[in-house]
Amino acid sequence: AQKITQTQPGMFVQEKEAVTLDCTYDTSDPSYGLFWYKQPSSGEMIFLIYQGSYDQQNATEGRYSLNFQKARKSANLVISASQLGDSAMYFCAMRERFFGNEKLTFGTGTRLTIIP
């Protein structure tokens, strides 16, 4: 089974609209973390936002918010008031810790295109 599933290979959104990128996950680790990264066409990986499994409130960072629904095992990224510079690949990732070690597993990504 996939640990991280991103079901939207690509999305087109009008500038200034809000956009939701879907992410579901699967883990038996009670203490895990969820991340979103942005990869623009230049190729670098940019950390956007983090949500811990025990966090009571949804994480927010500027125009980014994470809609965390623990029972449904979903961690959707919401971008408000989209901008042309938001066009990029977006990856959801999950951190699991085990035996004192940890690793991040990534989804396959969603390519977001903002239309002027």
Residues binding other proteins (CB under 8 A): 6, 33, 35, 43-45, 47, 50, 52, 91, 93, 95, 100-109
Residue 52: both structure tokens together? 């811990």
Nearer to other proteins, 50 or 73 (CB): 50
Nearer to other proteins, 62 or 116 (CB): 62
Give the closest residue to 5 by CA, choosing from 72, 85, 54, 98: 72
CB of 55 to other proteins, least distance (A): 10
Residue 114: both structure tokens together? 């903002």
Nearer to other proteins, 56 or 101 (CB): 101
CB of 46 to other proteins, least distance (A): 9
Determine phi and psi for 99, rounding to 5 degrees: 50, 40
Give the closest residue to 102 by CA, choosing from 51, 55, 32, 38: 32
